[in-house]
Copies of this chain bind each other. A is one copy, B any other.
């Protein structure tokens, strides 16, 4: 016998139950996106290589999956180049297309390409798979979905307020209570940079500061010193070592600390606006937390920076993130288009909902009613009833073969079908149906009308 087939590493098959649970997350996010005025777009799975290459750094370029040209693709390649076996250079000759690496660059390409058809500010959402030739590991895949919402064409801080509300709305709808939405602003980080007098040390600085809980002020100071941050600089930002209290307290501390930095003060003002409005409008189930160590995608973001953390007790870390970027479409020649956007980490959200048993109420894609098949006459009688059930949207089916009753009931049990309808000569003569509740084992003779009612 042939060897059992398998799939490429880092990819996954999804069973019906997994598809249903994933769709539950997708459709919840989608619903909230639309309620917030976002519209869906879709872009091709592969783009021209020139669209993607060089947009994600050297590491990113390496991780992009390239598609081989069709036909006799080697024919036109220079003999010497081929003989050199220089994979990098040969690639540009034998591959013109590449699989989408994220949704952001294709979105930027879309906006530039279709700029004359779009109404700005343009609010779009996109939920599509992306591919990365990463080393597969727990929770990291070579094919996975991204769920993004972005607005381009406005610098309004109201949108930064709205994305916090949107996160809260999605996670509340998913019954994932107790998430923390972390907020920072690139301008705050720029201000700190100014204060410590070292633009290039910012990441070292925030990474060290982030360890305060674990290694204490002394440990953090030691790490900062080892990274070449001067004692004087560390002294200047000492308040960040006791950075706590309410968001308002933190804002006041930042205001004092960053007084000397114009950009830093602008960051404080922006954060004040977002935080004050969120506090006045209220959130359903999330907590908004100002976190100056939040620096994700630092090279990229220019204003707000978001990250969502799973409820306490769930070891998962970030389940979403985003921020404002001032020149997204600039890479394709369209400048002065400020954008702000967020992303949901589908696979991680899935794991969290699974761990907290929050999928329990998701309707699985299985029939509610199975009609037992005793033969042609009985089956034909059942088919008439099936039409009635299906017209009412009740998921139902006839067992296709007139196999032994035991086999058919087994099928119902294995698929966890809650109702079974049994039709024999008696039922046909009397024009009714015997309905068996598979959980209680109880049977009841009923009319079609009753059948429709009970199984609805």
What residues on B are CB-neighbors of A187 within 8 Å? none
What residues on B are CB-neighbors of A324 within 8 Å? none
Q: At the interface, yes or no: A427 with Cβ under 8 Å from chain B? A: no
A396 touches B35 (CB 8 A): yes
Q: At the interface, yes or no: A109 with Cβ under 8 Å from chain B? A: yes
**Which residue of chain B is the closest to A95 with respect to CB atoms?**
B68
A8-B47, A99-B67 known; A333-B85 Cβ under 8 A: no
- Segment touching B, from A36-44, A194-202, A314-322: A36-44
User: 1/0 per residue A298-313: CB within 8 Å of B?
Assistant: 0000000000000000
What residues on B are CB-neighbors of A162 within 8 Å? 398
Contact with A48, one of B6, B114, B400, B401 (Cβ below 8 angstroms): B6
What residues on B are CB-neighbors of A367 within 8 Å? 37
Q: At the interface, yes or no: A240 with Cβ under 8 Å from chain B? A: no
Give chain A interface residues in 3-31, CB to chain B under 8 Å: 3-8, 11-16, 19-20, 23, 31
Q: At the interface, yes or no: A243 with Cβ under 8 Å from chain B? A: no
Q: At the interface, yes or no: A383 with Cβ under 8 Å from chain B? A: yes
Q: At the interface, yes or no: A397 with Cβ under 8 Å from chain B? A: yes
User: 1/0 per residue A88-115: CB within 8 Å of B?
Assistant: 0011001111010000000001101110
Give chain A interface residues in 124-145, CB to chain B under 8 Å: 124, 129, 131, 133, 143
| Copies of this chain, count | 2
Contact with A86, one of B12, B74, B384, B398 (Cβ below 8 angstroms): B74
- Segment touching B, from A153-161, A215-223, A431-439, A441-449: A153-161
A154-B401, A384-B281 known; A37-B396 Cβ under 8 A: yes
A113 touches B5 (CB 8 A): yes
A1-B333, A124-B16 known; A68-B71 Cβ under 8 A: no
**Which residue of chain B is the closest to A412 with respect to CB atoms?**
B119
Q: At the interface, yes or no: A393 with Cβ under 8 Å from chain B? A: yes
Q: At the interface, yes or no: A415 with Cβ under 8 Å from chain B? A: yes
A5 touches B51 (CB 8 A): yes
B90 touches A74 (CB 8 A): yes
Q: At the interface, yes or no: A246 with Cβ under 8 Å from chain B? A: no
Please classify the interface of chain A as helix (H, G, I), strand (E, B), loop, or mixed, using the class held by over half of its residues.
Answer: mixed
State the CA gap A156–B380 with chains docked (Å). Answer: 13
**Which residue of chain B is the closest to A68 with respect to CB atoms?**
B66
Q: At the interface, yes or no: A405 with Cβ under 8 Å from chain B? A: no
Closest 7 CB pairs of A and B: A2-B333, A37-B397, A156-B400, A11-B44, A16-B39, A14-B42, A70-B133
- 19 CB contacts below 8 A, A to B, read A1-B333, A2-B332, A3-B333, A5-B332, A7-B44, A7-B51, A7-B113, A8-B96, A8-B97, A16-B40, A19-B41, A36-B395, A36-B397, A37-B367, A37-B396, A67-B68, A68-B68, A123-B397, A154-B401
**Chain A residues with a Cβ under 8 A of chain B:** 1-8, 11-16, 19-20, 23, 31, 34-48, 51, 62-63, 65-68, 70-75, 77, 79, 82-83, 85-87, 90-91, 94-97, 99, 109-110, 112-114, 117, 119, 121, 123-124, 129, 131, 133, 143, 151, 154-156, 158-159, 161-162, 165, 169, 277, 280-281, 332-333, 365-367, 373, 379-380, 383-384, 387, 390, 393-398, 400-401, 411, 414-415
